[in-house]
């Protein structure tokens, strides 16, 4: 979450062959944080009864999917620039 909060505002600097890859639009930032949150949810999910990341010493997943999404969002809000956060909230 904190890494996303730092990286998403910096996305306009990413170039390929001298051309920017991202447009720095608010929708683009929203989709990026949504993708990161969904990846976090997937880490805690179970697929056909098998967890993606097992706890090891007990049955079940190491992460609670819904809680992991909340934690990622909180750390993103803490780590991002306030202007970027307000653009994503619009």
**For residue 60, what pLDDT is reported?**
80
Predicted model pTM = 0.74
| pLDDT tens digit sequence for 33-79 | 889 999 888 888 888 878 888 888 888 888 888 888 899 888 888 88
**For residue 9, what pLDDT is reported?**
83
Residue 19: pLDDT above 80? yes
Residue 90: pLDDT above 80? no
The residue with tokens 């620039």 is: 81
The SS3 call for residue 84 is helix
Residue 3: pLDDT above 80? yes
Query: Which phi and psi angles does 64 have, rounded to 5°?
Result: -90, 120
**5 burial via Cβ count (<10 Å: 0-12, 13-18, 19+):** buried
């Amino acid at each position: 979450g904190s890494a996303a909060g730092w990286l998403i505002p910096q996305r306009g600097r990413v170039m390929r062959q001298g051309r920017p890859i991202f447009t720095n639009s608010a929708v683009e930032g929203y989709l990026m944080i949504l993708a990161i949150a969904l990846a976090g949810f997937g880490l805690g999910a179970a697929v056909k009864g098998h967890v993606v990341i097992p706890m090891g010493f007990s049955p079940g997943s190491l992460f609670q999917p819904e809680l992991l999404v909340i934690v990622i969002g909180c750390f993103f809000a803490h780590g991002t620039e306030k202007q970027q956060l307000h653009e994503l909230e619009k």
